[in-house]
């Protein structure tokens, strides 16, 4: 006679089950019209084995450079300790109307940051200036030699905002919760907030008129498949290795199947080309073996691409002589 499992055993099984990845939530300062959100977990990346072994020393050397160290001391900022995460929200249909707003989260001294920014406007007024029509907000403008201006403000002791649009930065300076769309919020909610980097983007309708190389509209079949692409996600996990996961959300299962075939063929071509590329560039040879981890598949309406780059391969590429 079969016995029902006891409540005690059920509780033990529940405790031993792997915990679900924490769902991400959109930063409250992101612009309402954002259709792409990028999150970089700076703290996790800096604490990862690969960065500690291969990059942390170089980062420290750069920050200890005379000019960098002087500026960081002036504004009371230690990027290796004070910055936790950078979240970027962007929108636009093409390069002509692209806008972005980046929220830098961490532990800051607002007074020192503002003092440092004001000092920079006095030191280099041709490129740095205080925006005079920003109301109560202290808004700073950086005008590069070429390109559009960038605006920045210190929101409080936990957030600094940088953006391409003065109105967006001013709204963030006021601490205004913008609230992204339900579609973006739902897509962001599927991301793992503990990942090193994640990207969530709504692309429906934005790739319909993309011109592929090859003349006369490129490959008509691929052009049609791009028109069926609705969302794109990317997750990068940096530990002792680097793991990559890409999701291409299609309009239906049939479209996903067709895109899946195209992606699989493309990955096979990449694997075939790597030995040729590595022939002229020996530092790329470790990638030949690593390329075998590059795989794709179709899950319901999503084409999934995964890859893994081992720490040993990264070390071999950075130090080919060893």
Q: Are 35 and 166 found together in one domain?
A: yes
Q: Are 157 and 221 found together in one domain?
A: no
Q: Is the residue at 277 inside a domain? A: yes
Q: Is the residue at 219 inside a domain? A: yes
Q: Are 149 and 266 found together in one domain?
A: no
Number of domains forming the structure of the chain = 2
Q: Are 91 and 161 found together in one domain?
A: yes
Q: Are 111 and 208 found together in one domain?
A: no
Query: pTM value?
Result: 0.86
- Tell me if residue 38 falls in helix, strand or coil: strand
Q: Is the residue at 307 inside a domain? A: yes
Q: Are 50 and 147 found together in one domain?
A: yes
Q: Quick one: which of 59, 168, 152 has its CA closest to 113?
A: 152
Domain boundary (173, 189, 217) is at 173
Residue 215: C-alpha distances to residues 75, 218, 219 (Å): 53, 5, 9
Burial of 114 (0-12, 13-18, 19+ CB in 10 A): middle
Q: Are 150 and 251 found together in one domain?
A: no
Q: Are 245 and 164 found together in one domain?
A: no
Q: Is the residue at 196 inside a domain? A: no
Domain that residue 262 falls in: 203-318
Per the document, the length of the chain is 322
Q: Are 81 and 134 found together in one domain?
A: yes
* Helix, strand, coil tally for the chain in percent (to 5): 40, 25, 35
Q: pLDDT digit of tens for each residue in the chain (322 aa)?
A: 444 444 454 444 444 444 556 789 999 999 999 999 999 999 999 999 999 998 899 898 888 876 777 778 878 888 899 999 999 999 987 767 789 999 999 999 999 999 988 998 999 899 999 998 766 778 999 999 888 999 999 999 999 999 999 988 988 888 777 789 999 999 999 999 999 999 999 999 888 766 666 544 557 888 889 989 999 999 999 999 999 999 999 999 999 999 999 999 999 998 888 888 777 777 778 888 888 899 999 999 999 999 999 998 888 887 766 5
CB 197 within 8 A of CB 236: yes
Q: Are 134 and 95 found together in one domain?
A: yes
* d(C-alpha 303, C-alpha 226), whole Å: 12
Predicted confidence at residue 273, as pLDDT, reads 87
Q: Are 299 and 211 found together in one domain?
A: yes
Q: Is the residue at 267 inside a domain? A: yes
Any residues with CB less than 8 A from the CB of 215 and at least 6 apart, and which? none
Q: Are 146 and 227 found together in one domain?
A: no
Predicted confidence at residue 139, as pLDDT, reads 92
Predicted confidence at residue 17, as pLDDT, reads 45
């Amino acid at each position: 006679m079969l016995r029902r499992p006891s409540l005690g055993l059920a509780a033990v099984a529940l405790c031993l089950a792997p915990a679900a990845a924490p769902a991400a939530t959109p930063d409250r300062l992101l612009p309402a019209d954002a259709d792409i959100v990028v999150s970089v977990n700076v703290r996790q990346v800096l604490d990862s084995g690969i960065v500690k072994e291969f990059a942390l020393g170089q980062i420290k050397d750069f920050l200890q450079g005379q000019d960098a160290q002087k500026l960081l001391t002036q504004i009371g900022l230690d990027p290796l300790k004070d910055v936790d995460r950078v979240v970027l929200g962007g929108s636009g249909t093409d390069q002509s109307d692209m806008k972005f707003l980046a929220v830098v989260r961490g532990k800051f001294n607002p007074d020192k940051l503002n003092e440092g920014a004001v000092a920079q406007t006095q030191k280099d007024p041709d490129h740095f200036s205080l925006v005079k029509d920003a109301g109560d907000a202290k808004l700073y403008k950086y005008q590069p030699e070429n390109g559009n201006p960038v605006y920045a403000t210190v929101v409080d002791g936990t957030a600094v905002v940088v953006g391409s649009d003065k109105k967006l930065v001013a709204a963030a300076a006021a601490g205004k919760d913008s609230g992204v769309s339900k579609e973006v919020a739902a897509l962001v909610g599927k991301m793992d907030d503990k990942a090193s980097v994640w990207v969530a983007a709504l692309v429906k309708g934005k790739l319909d008129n993309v011109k592929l190389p090859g003349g006369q509209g490129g490959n008509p079949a691929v052009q049609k498949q791009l028109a069926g692409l609705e969302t794109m996600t990317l997750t990068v996990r940096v530990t002792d290795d680097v793991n990559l996961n890409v999701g291409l959300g299609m309009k239906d299962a049939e479209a996903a199947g067709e895109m899946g075939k195209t992606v699989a063929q493309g990955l096979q071509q990449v694997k075939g080309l790597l030995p040729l590329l590595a022939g002229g560039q020996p530092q790329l040879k470790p990638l030949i073996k690593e390329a075998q981890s590059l795989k794709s598949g179709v899950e319901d309406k999503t084409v999934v691409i995964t890859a893994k780059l081992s720490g040993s391969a990264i070390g071999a590429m950075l130090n080919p002589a060893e």
